[in-house]
Amino acid sequence: MDMKVIEMKNIIKKFGSFTANDNIDLSVHKGEIHALLGENGAGKSTLMNILYGLYTPTSGEIYINGKKINITNPNVAIKHGIGMVHQHFMLVDTFTVVENIILGMETTNGPVLDIKRATKKVEELSKKYGLFVDPNAKIQDISVGMQQRVEILKALYRGADILILDEPTAVLTPQEIDELINIMRSLASQGKTIIIITHKLKEIKAVADYCTVIRRGKKIDTVKVESVNEEELAEMMVGRQVSFTVDKKNVNRGKKVLDIKDIVVKDNRKLNAVNNLSLDIYSGEILGIAGIDGNGQSEFIEGITGLRPIESGQVIFDEKDITNKSPFEIINAGLSTIPEDRQRRGLVLDFTIAENMILENYHKEPFSRKGRLNHKAIEDFSEKLIEKFDVRPRNHGQKAGALSGGNQQKVIIAREITNNPEVLIAAQPTRGLDVGAIEYVHKYLIEQRDNGRAVLLISFELDEVINLSDRIAVIYEGKIVDIIDAKDADERTLGLLMAGGGANNEEDEE
């Protein structure tokens, strides 16, 4: 008989009139790795925040090891052996690993923290579960994957038997993901229970025993992972069939359209985020940029689209110098962007869907004639795009600010793709979209390329970069460290380059 370590019954959580968790049941057994699968906004984090005592459920009951518990705050959760690693780590950069682990805990040896004893215990835990870290290293000096291990150790140090990991792989390289999978297996084999939140089907197949699928706040089912394939999981997650294959003709490369020469762009702290970066992009190709978040991708896009000054170097578009031109001039020259920060850059939240759809083209026919807006044309056009991109709700008069994140993205993508630009820059174009919408965006990016456009794709999703691109440029510390033909690319090689392990990797320049 398996013992249920966690039983959540009829959990309802409302935020105002919105129901984020709608009568969810969840049972997890000892020693199992249980995945929570769902699209962005499905209610996964909410459910786990309830289990960890960060939110109080509107109604419902929680049993831990068969006993009903009122988890009113995280201290109660910790007392009952529940630990949680959040999407954003909560570590102090200037403290060491051990200092972070014991931070906030009762001292065991009078007012002076017993660092020595703590270090020993951390080392023991490290060894037992394969969580290798240097206890004396400062957080600011260790990798993100390492920081995540510190968070896991912190939970174990507090006696966690049940570990909740909220999208732990989102910030990791492929190698680090493999390591984390090994750590999870080691923890589970030694009796720990793990709940992992993710929307990546591959990872669920790789590591989880059971999977509970949540869609729009409701539990769809709990399945044994062995007995389902990725297609079936995807269908449960989005509620309809999804195709995973990206059909692509051979590349038919045309002329060079974008020639980026040795550019330097600073970040907000005035450091060189883009560090003498050079890159050529040709019409008819998708050039993918692979890299871990924070290696200058955002500053690079902002630089070439006129949103951030280029300190030195040049951007040549169709033989015209567009370095440091205004965003408006750059768009009008024929370079469109699906921006990374959609709320800030992509939409006017106070405008309707229809108004946002024609934001860059309102002054053109048929949307305006002789200086007057043609509302009928604007509405017809938006309705078509709303239908085609499955924007919900299907109401062109809805304010953009009232849409969910995924639907805001769909509005921008619909607009930018129908702009038919010569160069389309797609920055994280599918982030936050469900697999069905992702399929659609991929098809459109390839259609752009097949129509002879140049597509520059920047994505943290390595699968996406590999599947869509013709060439892949790897960015590391603000430089392109290598460019490979996508046909020769695999996750391992790219992962190593992304972590700075490439052959052409130079010494850090200060």
**Binding site partner of 408, from Mg ion, ligand ADP, none, Cβ cut-off 5-8 A by kind:** none
> Sign of the C-alpha dihedral, residues 319, 324, 325, 327?
positive
**Binding site partner of 38, from ligand ADP, Mg ion, none, Cβ cut-off 5-8 A by kind:** ligand ADP
Q: Check if the beta carbon of residue 321 is closer than 8 Å to that of residue 314.
A: yes
Count of residues of this chain found to bind ligand ADP when the rule CB under 6 A is applied: 10
For ligand ADP, the closer of residues 212 and 469 by Cβ is 212
Assigned token pair, 25: 């049941």
For ligand ADP, the closer of residues 41 and 501 by Cβ is 41
Smallest distance from the beta carbon of 45 to ligand ADP, in angstroms?
3
Q: Which of residues 28-87 bind ligand ADP (CB under 6 A)?
A: 38, 40-46
Beta bridge partners of 382: none
Smallest distance from the beta carbon of 437 to ligand ADP, in angstroms?
15
Smallest distance from the beta carbon of 438 to Mg ion, in angstroms?
17
State the DSSP string of 105-161.
SPPSBTBS--HHHHHHHHHHHHHHHT----TTSBGGGS-HHHHHHHHHHHHHHTT-S
Smallest distance from the beta carbon of 25 to ligand ADP, in angstroms?
16
Query: What radius of gyration do the chain's Cα atoms show?
Result: 25
Smallest distance from the beta carbon of 41 to Mg ion, in angstroms?
8
**Binding site partner of 406, from ligand ADP, Mg ion, none, Cβ cut-off 5-8 A by kind:** none
Smallest distance from the beta carbon of 128 to ligand ADP, in angstroms?
30
Smallest distance from the beta carbon of 425 to Mg ion, in angstroms?
27
Q: How many CB atoms lie within 10 A of CB 278?
A: 14
The CA-based angle 371-375-376, given to 5 degrees, is 125
Smallest distance from the beta carbon of 87 to ligand ADP, in angstroms?
9
Q: How many CB atoms lie within 10 A of CB 454?
A: 27
For ligand ADP, the closer of residues 15 and 132 by Cβ is 15
Positions that interact with Mg ion (CB under 5 A): 45
Strands of the sheet with 479-485, listed across from one edge: 335-338, 423-427, 454-459, 286-290, 471-476, 479-485
At 326, is the secondary structure helix, strand, or coil?
A: coil
Pairing of strands 210-215, 33-37: parallel
For ligand ADP, the closer of residues 40 and 467 by Cβ is 40
C-alpha–C-alpha distance, residues 61 and 9, integer Å: 5
Q: Which of residues 1-30 bind ligand ADP (CB under 6 A)?
A: 15, 20
Q: Check if the beta carbon of residue 265 is closer than 8 Å to that of residue 302.
A: yes
Helix orientation angle between 144-157 and 174-189, rounded to the nearest 10 degrees:
20
**Binding site partner of 46, from Mg ion, ligand ADP, none, Cβ cut-off 5-8 A by kind:** ligand ADP
For Mg ion, the closer of residues 45 and 418 by Cβ is 45
For ligand ADP, the closer of residues 398 and 418 by Cβ is 398
For Mg ion, the closer of residues 170 and 377 by Cβ is 170
**Binding site partner of 43, from ligand ADP, Mg ion, none, Cβ cut-off 5-8 A by kind:** ligand ADP
For ligand ADP, the closer of residues 62 and 335 by Cβ is 62
Binding site for ligand ADP (CB under 6 A): 15, 20, 38, 40-46
